[in-house]
Structure 1
């Protein structure tokens, strides 16, 4: 049995350690809170994409190419990369990766990823259904081909989004959504993007265990985010 003096010393050491961590946490909270508040009030200054312009771009792509999804995607990427203010922020390396999130499965091509924005093509050729997630950013789902439906608890009719429409999932809200058949969209999120990644990775870590896809998604997203951050784009 350990002497009482040793037990007291151990208890005292644990108490001091706990107090030290609490002090560090308090200092970090005190420093980061005003920084977060300042950034939150100035989020608009960090955005390089405009919602109305993306909507117009999606509609013109549909008008020009009808149900040819590949042609619409090429049209969108070519026009965005052709704009002087956006050229260096657009990823023209069209790499498609599976994405499992909220029980839904599809594939995505990341056009842009930064701390405050992402722009992707997301969709599936066979249909899917799931939980939208409750996010720290506004999400604008521009339907290119196919139809998406959504449901909010308490409603008795679905929300229906055909080609050319925009499904705006407001920050902090949640819905059930479904793409019954082939459906592709230009998805634009603006707000705090890093916290959204936990939702994006959760199914891969807890269900599919598709680690090669998780690694590739992490690599491409991280490369684009850090590359844009190096250019001064938050």
Structure 2
């Protein structure tokens, strides 16, 4: 049977080993954090190099689609996709597959035209109106109104921002608003910045409220397929 002094030495050795293991783990975590921060910093300073869509072109395209098709939303969407697929065939999804989207208390449907690490382009809207929270995002969001009207509100203001067809609502990175589509409204929505963190906002209502798992699965499948496809083309 070990003596009291032997048990004390054994306990001290185990304690030292545990402390050393925790110290090594913390050191590794610190190193990984520093490495990740460095990668994000470098990538952040070079985000513009990853973008394939041009802001001016998208705004002009949205305006032309409105001028050409008026309240014919289907025609406007096809006009947009046809031009983009001719200009950027490797980056545009021409398969018009609509899926419901619940986010920030609002509900509508979307057709994902492009999804990658630094950009997404969708057609989003509803034929019956909706209202909700924009979310606070890691990307700039440009909401090009095609049909209908969008309204937005920020605390401290007494009048709404109003965005008619042909206009663009720019939600700057890190900002937040309340928004409303009083009636039928569809828009071409383009975001540029860090897209993956935005997915949490897009899935939160489905996981905590609607529990519409088939829609969540379909959204995940389409988004994942498009993002992986872009990564295979070296598009981040």
Based on CA coordinates, which of the two structures has the bigger radius of gyration?
2
Measure, in 2, the Cα distance between the counterparts of 1:143 and 1:167: 8
Gaps of 5+ in 1: none
Change beyond 3 A, Cα 1:155–1:25: same
| 2:60 equivalent among 53, 56, 60 | 56
Question: 2:70 aligned with 1:69, yes or no?
Answer: no
What whole-Å deviation, never above 9, does each CA across 1:62-109 have from its counterpart, x for those lacking one?
1111100000000000011111xx111100010000000001000000
Other structure's SS at 2:112 match: strand
Measure, in 2, the Cα distance between the counterparts of 1:19 and 1:63: 65
Question: 2:11 aligned with 1:27, yes or no?
Answer: no
Q: Which residue of 2 aligns with 1:81?
A: 85
Measure, in 2, the Cα distance between the counterparts of 1:37 and 1:90: 28
Measure, in 2, the Cα distance between the counterparts of 1:38 and 1:68: 44
What whole-Å deviation, never above 9, does each CA across 1:113-133 have from its counterpart, x for those lacking one?
000000000000111100000
- CA positional deviation for 1:45: 0.5
TM-score, normalised by the number of residues in structure 2: 0.93
TM-score, normalised by the number of residues in structure 1: 0.94
Q: How many residues align?
A: 230
Give matches, 1:37-52, under 5 Å: 37-52=41-56
| 1:209 equivalent among 196, 208, 211 | 211
Measure, in 2, the Cα distance between the counterparts of 1:52 and 1:114: 20
Q: Which residue of 1 aligns with 2:147?
A: 145
Measure, in 1, the Cα distance between the counterparts of 2:71 and 2:15: 70
Measure, in 2, the Cα distance between the counterparts of 1:12 and 1:24: 18
- CA positional deviation for 1:14: 4.8
- CA positional deviation for 1:164: 0.3
Moved over 4 A (4+): 3-14
